[in-house]
Amino acid sequence: MTKVITLCVGTGTNKKITMVKPVLAKYENQINVFSEFLEDLPDVDEPVWILGACYDLKTKKPELLSDVRSRLWFTYRKKFSPIGGTGPSSDAGWGCMLRCGQMILAQALVSRHLGRDWRWDAEKRQPKEYHRILHCFLDKKDSCYSIHQMAQMGVGEGKSVGEWYGPNTVAQVLKKLALFDDWNTLAVYVSMDNTVVIEDIKKQCKQPGRESRSRAGPCGQGEVPASGQSCSEAQGKTLNLQSQRPLDWRPLLLVIPLRMGINSINPVYIQAFKECFKMPQSCGVLGGKPNLAYYFIGFIDDELIYLDPHTTQQAVDTDSGSAVDDQSYHCQRTPHRMKITSLDPSVALGFFCKSEEDFDSWCDLVQQELLKKRNLRMFELVEKHPSHWPPFVPPTKPEVQTTGAEFIESPDKLFESEEEFEILNV
């Protein structure tokens, strides 16, 4: 930052430099663009793919940069309320994978409420859904996907507050926290053993109409008994009505933890890995290098494009329900890139399917582009629940008065193996 201060302030007095430092700290995100100006996108003929959207660098570069800038960018923060009351007040040095988890989930919520084609403009007023999404991730204990909630829920996954996470653990944390999010009603499915089970996903995403559940009567079944009618009769009537009513589809965030090699990514998986970013359902990838987590959003040629959470910014303090000062939540720098071959083999693929038709389309794409064309598969897609697995029980919100941070789900614990990935056959 010293070079940037010299650029902006010039030969001014020490007093002027002291006065400008708070401004520089607040808008560090925008000012750093000058120091990274030379790291421009390469001049190649290859198209750029960003979360299912394709761009020609020669003709669509402004649109590409606008797309990247519109993604919600979560970084290290400092000076927020201590986690758990007495814990750390900054996640610098340990929270990068948690921040990447926030970014992949935020992308799903933006697609759900605003659509993939929505773009952020600092000069324009944003829709209320956008600010409501941001409030879900503010660094406060009562924000449902805050660093506080994620770190404390991670304790149930065997991670102490302040400990570094891997992609699979973050996915399990998101799955549990989503159970307490009544606004977004997102179904988070985390595959295991490199296998995506279509039957299980449809079982988790389909549920009785929300209208019937919201009008719960004293029977707890959504039906108020008529005069002279017993609760059992009312329940029977309600169950009959629900059986006739079509089931809703809860928007799906599908996370597929993988290990694509032992110490480094096996080259045989690279093309299939790139194909994932071309799918319109792409929600990005959690991964990075050892102890350095990144949120990957696309690729160009043999390089991955990612958002980097390793910038420490001040926590944003805002009142509940008010608009958020969102300048620091959008990366206005030239996109970061890294060679695909430098990627750590432990990753988690993310896909968002807003409807059942969207999910069926994703299944078709996987069959055509990943399974039929490849000798070695990154993961398997099967119709039915494997007979040697325990029965699949869709996760449900526990009947306890809690934010969820203390809740530890246990029935399927034996088959959620934290960072114990199965090595893909090579």
By CB atoms closer than 10 A (0-12, 13-18, 19+), residue 38 is exposed
pLDDT at 320: 65
Active site residue 96: yes
Active-site residue, from 310, 358, 385, 412: 310
Is the model more confident about 28 or about 170?
Answer: 170
By CB atoms closer than 10 A (0-12, 13-18, 19+), residue 128 is exposed
Q: How many CB atoms lie within 10 A of CB 278?
A: 17
Contact between residue 81 and residue 97 where contact means Cβ atoms under 8 Å apart: no
Q: Taking Cα atoms as reference points, which of 125, 164, 4, 106 lies closest to residue 329?
A: 106
Q: What's the distance, Cα to Cα, between the start and end of the chain in Å?
A: 46
Question: Could you give the CA distance from residue 29 to residue 31 in angstroms, rounded to a whole number?
Answer: 6
Q: How many CB atoms lie within 10 A of CB 15?
A: 8
Q: Is the pLDDT of residue 229 over 50?
A: no
* Average pLDDT of span 120-134: 94
Residue range 366-393, pLDDT digits in tens: 999 888 877 788 999 999 999 999 999 9
Average of per-residue pLDDT values in the chain: 80
Is the model more confident about 45 or about 26?
Answer: 45
Q: Which residues of 182-204 are buried (b: 16+ CB within 10 A; e: fewer)?
A: eebebbbbbbbebbbbeebbebb
Residue range 415-424, pLDDT digits in tens: 343 444 444 4
Active-site residue, from 91, 139, 308, 344: 308
Residues 6+ apart with CB under 8 A from 36: 333, 334
Residue range 308-356, pLDDT digits in tens: 999 999 999 887 667 788 999 999 888 899 999 999 999 999 999 999 9
Q: Which amino acid is at 2?
A: T
Is the model more confident about 218 or about 121?
Answer: 121
Give the pLDDT band (50/70/90) at residue 208: low
Is the model more confident about 424 or about 146?
Answer: 146
Residue range 295-320, pLDDT digits in tens: 999 999 999 999 999 999 999 988 76
Range scoring the smallest mean pLDDT among 149-158, 242-251, 311-320: 242-251
Q: State the pTM of this model.
A: 0.80
* Average pLDDT of span 268-291: 95
Active site residue 308: yes
pLDDT at 26: 47
Percent pLDDT > 90 in the chain is 63
Tokens of 148: 């506080």
- Three-state DSSP state, 282: strand
Q: How far is CA 313 from CA 115, 121, 211, 292, 408, in A?
A: 28, 21, 42, 18, 31
Tokens of 248: 């809703």
Question: Could you give the CA distance from residue 421 to residue 423 in angstroms, rounded to a whole number?
Answer: 6
For 165-323, where are the E strands, in sequence order?
187-190, 195-197, 206-207, 248-249, 252-259, 282-289, 292-300, 303-307, 313-314
Contact between residue 286 and residue 292 where contact means Cβ atoms under 8 Å apart: no
Residue range 159-196, pLDDT digits in tens: 999 988 999 999 999 999 999 999 999 999 999 999 99
pLDDT at 415: 36
Give the pLDDT band (50/70/90) at residue 39: low
Contact between residue 309 and residue 99 where contact means Cβ atoms under 8 Å apart: yes
pLDDT at 417: 39
pLDDT at 398: 74
Active site residue 310: yes
Active-site residue, from 91, 96, 276, 330: 96
Return the DSSP state at 304. E
